[in-house]
């Protein structure tokens, strides 16, 4: 009589299981690292989109204003402070604001070219997040020029 024996003896040794778990763990850590970077890039991209939209809106507002209103608003060297939520909507509550915007500029007459003009040269300055200490905030400065021509 032959001793009892299985037809097929398939099994994993302990070392094979440990190596497989190690490879799996390294792969998972790599994937999670990529996900973390992807989320960071997505957040930065969203901020860039909101800032581009706000910059366009504010510069269009400044250029659409009558020049006399600009002159009255900025002639004394004052600046305008605005606060915006994460989606770019304006707010007056600093606790819910993410972006702080400061608009400042000065006027200079020019005598050249085809006509005399008065230029408003300034900057739209963004800082975010508002809740962070000033040194830790990201900053963006966008120069702007608005001209009033005399004929």
pLDDT band at 31 (very low <50, low <70, confident <90, very high): very high
Enter the pTM of the model: 0.70
Name residue 120's beta-bridge partners: 107, 146
CA dist., res. 84 & res. 151, Å (int): 39
pLDDT band at 1 (very low <50, low <70, confident <90, very high): low
Residue 146 has a pLDDT of 84
Q: What is the mean pLDDT of the chain?
A: 85
Instruction: Pick 144 or 67 by higher pLDDT.
Output: 144
Domain map (residue ranges) of the chain: 14-150
- From the list 142, 78, 65, 130, the residue with the least C-alpha distance to 104 is 78
* Residue 42, C-beta contacts closer than 8 angstroms, at least 6 positions apart: none
User: Measured in whole angstroms, how far is the alpha carbon of residue 78 from the centre of its chain?
Assistant: 26
CA dist., res. 134 & res. 90, Å (int): 21
pLDDT per position as a tens digit, 91-136: 999 899 999 999 998 887 766 654 556 788 889 999 999 988 988 8
Residue 119 has a pLDDT of 82
């Amino acid at each position: 009589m032959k001793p009892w024996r299985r037809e097929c003896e398939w099994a994993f040794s302990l070392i094979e299981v440990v190596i497989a778990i190690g490879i799996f763990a390294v792969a998972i850590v790599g994937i999670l690292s990529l996900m973390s970077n992807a989320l960071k890039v997505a957040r930065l991209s969203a901020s860039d989109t909101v800032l581009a939209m706000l910059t366009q809106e504010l510069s269009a507002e400044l250029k659409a204003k009558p020049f006399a209103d600009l002159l009255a608003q900025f002639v004394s060297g004052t600046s305008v402070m605005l606060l915006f939520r994460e989606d770019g909507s304006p707010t007056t509550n600093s606790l819910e604001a993410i972006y702080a915007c400061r608009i400042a500029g000065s006027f200079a007459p020019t005598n050249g070219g085809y006509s005399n003009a008065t230029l408003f040269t300034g900057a739209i300055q963004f800082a975010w997040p508002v809740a962070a200490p000033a040194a830790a905030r990201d900053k963006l400065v966008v120069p702007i020029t608005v001209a009033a021509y005399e004929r």
